[in-house]
Amino acid sequence: MSETNNYGAMSRLNHWVLALAMIGMLGFGLYLEYSGLPREEKRPLVGIHRSLGVLVLILGLWRVGWRLFRGFPGAVGNMPAWQERAARTAHWVLLAGILLMPASGVAFTVFRGNALSVFGWFEIPAQAEIPWIVSSASFVHTYLGHALAFIVVLHIAAALKHHFVDRDLTLRRMTSGK
């Protein structure tokens, strides 16, 4: 089922909730990485980062599932083919990032033999240690995390360019749905 040439209310809600969540989590993760906080100050923040990340994974499964089910609407106006391809590729990478970032975080935690408590509400149990999963998941978390931060900046710049330079409906159909 395709959304023909518009985003419905659920698609827009999903987009903005996960956009906020992902920008927040990318900022949080990069802060943890580069702030140089001492270990004992960092530990509780990492706990919050992990718990929030698991909640993002749950929301993300719904959001990405919805997009797969509905499909993408066609591009606005007569965009050059290369631009349409670039936008579509970026959208797939962003969707993949919404799932792969938290999933890799969960994987490198539990396959290192640690249980993962989500704000003390529920727990993802520790698994038998599997070093290759830990190293590949932490590779994904670090490198995809940096790449996504860059792609999100490009994505926002593109949205603003469509709105203020091309003056087309790209941004508006994601805000008011017109």
Does residue 91 interact with ligand HEM by CB under 6 A? yes
Residues with Cβ < 8 Å from 47, sequence gap 6 or more?
A: 117
Q: Is 124 left (phi over 0), alpha (psi -120 to 50) or beta?
A: beta
The correct pick among 17, 61, 134, 174 for binding ligand HEM (CB under 6 A) is 174
> Considering all CA atoms of the chain, what is the largest pairwise distance in Å, rounded to the nearest integer?
55
Residue 63: other Cβ atoms inside 10 A: 23
The C-alpha atoms of residue 116 and residue 126 are separated, in whole angstroms, by 7
Contact, 72 vs 4, CB < 8 A?
no
- Shortest CB 80 distance to ligand HEM, Å: 13
The correct pick among 10, 33, 68, 115 for binding ligand HEM (CB under 6 A) is 33
Query: Closer CB to ligand HEM, residue 59 or residue 128?
Result: 59
Which residues pair with residue 122 across a beta bridge? Answer: 118
The correct pick among 13, 17, 25, 81 for binding ligand HEM (CB under 6 A) is 25
The C-alpha atoms of residue 20 and residue 23 are separated, in whole angstroms, by 5
Does residue 159 interact with ligand HEM by CB under 6 A? yes
Does residue 30 interact with ligand HEM by CB under 6 A? yes
Contact, 2 vs 73, CB < 8 A?
yes
The correct pick among 15, 47, 117, 136 for binding ligand HEM (CB under 6 A) is 15
Residues 59-78 interacting with ligand HEM (rule: CB under 6 A): 67, 75
Query: Which residue, among 174, 33, 58, 74, has the nearest Cα to 121 in the 3D structure?
Result: 58
The correct pick among 100, 137, 140, 152 for binding ligand HEM (CB under 6 A) is 152
Residues in contact with ligand HEM, counted by CB under 6 A, come to a total of: 43
Q: Which residues of this protein are in contact with ligand HEM, per CB under 6 A?
A: 11, 15, 18-19, 22-23, 25-26, 29-30, 32-33, 46, 49-50, 53-54, 56, 67, 75, 87, 91, 94-95, 97-98, 101-102, 105-106, 109, 116, 141-142, 145, 152, 155-156, 159, 170-171, 173-174
